[in-house]
Amino acid sequence: MSNRMNKMNRREFIGGTMAATVAMATGTATAFADSGQQSKKKTVKDLPYNPRTHKAMPTRNLGKTGYQVGIFSLGGQATLEIKGKEKDSVDIINRAIDLGVNYIDTAAGYGNGVSEINIGRVLKDRRNEVFQTSKTADRTYDGSMQLLEKTLKQLQTDHLDLWQLHNVRTQDELDKIFSKDGALKALLKAREDGMVRFLGVRVFATEFRTNGRN
């Protein structure tokens, strides 16, 4: 894993992120920092499949994942992250999947875990229909691994299809992520162990700056 971290320097990381930003032409973007190979220790199941998606809406290739994602997806904020809105959240999630949505995005920080818990109420019975993502805003190895364990428990699943670094804005954050015990180490370890399938980063391109250091 250390060799892999050495090969993926800051310039490659930022370059992939900015390329995705330009391609999407938005203020925020998801960049797949490393698709890599499937874990040798644990093989995750086949990619999810919602049989309604292709009939309900156009689809697009999701980076280099090999997954066809519908042009409409479901985000884990608003109602889904509000405590006391369990029934409404479950109804929204089930309805979205019934209408062909095959991608649900959330984060450990949405509602301090409420979003993941509400999604998990549906995911426990419909995991194979949804490409499920989550994010870590922690920049350390230990903190991110602890968040991932909590995320999987709350989502009631044994793996994520995509785990992302959340809201990366500054060079200082990037330095922490790439440090010896930084969050990148957690992402690579989680993929190696079969806890996540793909890795990515969410950046605010208009606020992120780099001084060109490796």
Q: Domain ranges in the chain? A: 2-204
Q: What pLDDT score does 13 carry? A: 56
Greater model confidence, 76 or 34: 76
In the predicted model, is pLDDT for residue 195 greater than 70? Answer: yes
Whole-number percent of the chain with pLDDT over 90: 68
In the predicted model, is pLDDT for residue 41 greater than 80? Answer: no
Strands (E), the chain: 28-34, 59-61, 68-70, 74-75, 103-105, 131-136, 160-168, 196-204
Collect all residues with Cβ–Cβ distance below 8 Å to 194 and sequence separation of at least 6.
38, 39, 41, 42, 43, 44, 159
| Pairing relationship of beta strands 131-136 and 160-168 according to DSSP bridges | parallel
Q: Classify residue 85 by burial, with Cβ atoms within 10 Å: 0-12, 13-18, 19+.
A: middle
Residue (of 27, 15, 68, 62) closest to 205 by Cα position:
27
Q: What pLDDT score does 4 carry? A: 54
pLDDT tens per residue, range 129-146: 999 999 999 999 999 999
Q: CA-CA distance, 164 to 7, in Å (whole number)?
A: 19
pLDDT tens per residue, range 66-123: 999 999 999 999 999 999 999 999 999 999 999 999 999 999 999 999 999 999 999 9
Q: For the domain 2-204, what is the CATH code?
A: 3.20.20.100
Cβ-count burial 19-56 (b if 16+ within 10 Å, e if not): ebbeeeeeeebbbbbbebeebeeeebeeebebeebeeb
Q: Using an 8 Å Cβ cutoff, are 146 and 182 in contact?
A: no
In the predicted model, is pLDDT for residue 7 greater than 80? Answer: no
Q: What pLDDT score does 170 carry? A: 87
